[in-house]
A and B are shown apart, each in its own frame.
Chain A
């Protein structure tokens, strides 16, 4: 700490020399001011300033060009004593008591008084105040502290922006809210459509115009719109009914039911992953992720009906019901996804060869997905 301060003071001394005039005695005077400021800061410690004076003395000799080192040392000591006499007489007495070397330099003090008479006392006072104020300012420390504080704030705000942008990209509450915009009649009619989809005439989603923007109507107003309420409730209902069935068979355990639900969630996630890969390989624009969740979750409605039949009627009749319901879900998916793909690739109608090629692949994908939905009813 003190070593750094000494180095900074020496630098300031050099700066004064460079900006000042080219008088050797002026150079000595500036250096003397620096030393005096250092002694003022150190206070009662006398030994450390002596050690710090070694490197400046060498450079001083080099700059001033004096041939004799010993006269320079005596001159510096004499200047210090004169300045102390001018400003603090009591301090002089203290120095005389502590170190007898100053007594030996008494003759040189008298000899140098004539030379120092050329300088005016106000200049000495002003420069000493300037050096003291500069030393106490510590600009390097303040600059470092300010820079560190600004860097911390910049880092925090950058991280916050990153989190906000990424969270807004993957999860939108308003979009999710539109999938839960359902009412009693929609849910009832949708479940009826899932159970018996053969009499439905129109499968296309209705488009509503709001402020010159064409967008799909919410599930509340369109029977063909996908929602997330029915898949979510059907999924939970299926596993609760399965737990009830285990309870009737005296095999119920909360741990086992929790494991079954976790396994169901994992299978649903794998199915969604395959669904997304299917879109990728068929070279078509992807539908929203929530639509995928909705379409792949509708089969749980039929699984619930199968579970109720199993509890009430037994395994043989429920197996027949399961076959009938799997055909229903396949038909439903075939009709729905075909229109979903055609609406997504509507912009490519004018290019006939590409349309035919991608149309074939999409038809295969739609058929495969429908069959997979039917088979998954037997696996779960």
Chain B
């Protein structure tokens, strides 16, 4: 009896990775009882899918932020995940921490006020509304150039003419990406500049925290 149990345990332990990789569920075929645990393991969803974290979507959104000149899909922000924004916010905080500045509170406060203000302005200006999670998601993903600016400030002195050019470049990059996504989602073609301007103000605030 004990011998059978240990054998069954070893068999299920051995067949699980094999089933996941090669999908040979019925390979052993010896006993009917052995198939139960193996089937239940194969029917399980992946852990990341259960948690709702989709790294493919995060990667595609990040690449769309990095390359603002490429034409983007209007459904790229349909799944409004908040994992990317939180990750980028913490990354910005850690990069500022390496330069000797503890700015987590200011990043959180400015992000909160900025997202709520953008949510109000966009709903007032557009005929079709937008929900606040989508606003947070877009603004959070487009924070990536600010992270590059912060890491660059670790290498060179940011308070100079070259630094000011880099600050302006990062602000324009973030603003262009975010306003492109907002205009695509809200269908406000004739108000592109008007959508971009408050976004630019928000990223200017982040640039002030980052650079000075």
Contact = CB atoms under 8 A, between A and B. Distances in A.
Interface of A: 176-177, 179-184, 187, 229, 232-233, 236-237, 240, 243-244, 246-248, 250, 252, 254, 257
Contacts of A246: 212
A232 B198 CA distance: 9
B125 A236 contact: no
Contacts of B209: 254
B202 to A, nearest CB: 9
Contact of B190 (A184, A240, A243): A184
Interface string B142-158: 00000000000000000
A177 B194 contact: no
A183 B208 contact: no
A232 B191 CA distance: 16
Given A177-B124, A247-B212, A248-B159, A183 B201 contact: no
A180 B122 CA distance: 9
Contacts of B211: 247
Nearest to B164: A248
Contacts of A236: 198, 201
Contact of B201 (A181, A237, A254): A237
Contacts of B204: 240, 244
B17 interface: no
A233 B198 contact: yes
Nearest to A229: B194
A248 B212 CA distance: 8
B132 to A, nearest CB: 15
A223 B31 CA distance: 84
Contacts of B110: 254
A243 B106 CA distance: 15
27 contacts: A176-B124, A180-B124, A183-B190, A183-B191, A184-B190, A184-B194, A187-B194, A229-B121, A229-B194, A233-B197, A233-B201, A236-B201, A240-B201, A240-B204, A240-B208, A243-B205, A244-B204, A244-B208, A246-B212, A247-B212, A248-B159, A252-B208, A252-B212, A254-B106, A254-B110, A254-B208, A254-B209
Nearest to A228: B124
B193 interface: yes
B159 A250 contact: yes
